[in-house]
Amino acid sequence: MNDAPQLLIEWSSPWQEFVSAIGPALRRSPPRLPAEARAGLFPFRGLLISLLLEFVAVAAAIVQPANSVQLATVSVSERSHDVIYFSADELPRTEDRGRVRCGD
């Protein structure tokens, strides 16, 4: 009669879990191993060097183009474009560069 599956899950007590974890959390850590990385969220020396290099790169990018690139002035000539309208029955006869007459 014990062949029936047991559907009840035995959960641990949250209080017991807290009490058992508070002791190791408050104790001092053991000494670091020789190959262990340094503890700390941010390596401030690396952040400072990176910030300084980025500042120098941005400053160089802002200053450099102003010195090395000379702007060329472009003169725009004002040309007048005349538009001539013809009616369909009075189109002028023109010749193309191959000397073929149009409209024949």
Which pLDDT score, from 0 to 100, does residue 67 have?
54
State both tokens at 54: 């980025």
pLDDT (tens digit, 9 = 90+) per residue, 33-72?
A: 888 877 677 778 888 999 999 999 999 888 876 555 566 6
- Dist CA 27 CA 21 (whole Å): 11
State both tokens at 86: 């013809």
Residue 100 confidence (pLDDT) above 70: no
For residue 93, give the nearest of 81, 84, 102 by alpha carbon. Answer: 102
Residue pair 86/92 in contact by the 8 Å Cβ criterion: yes
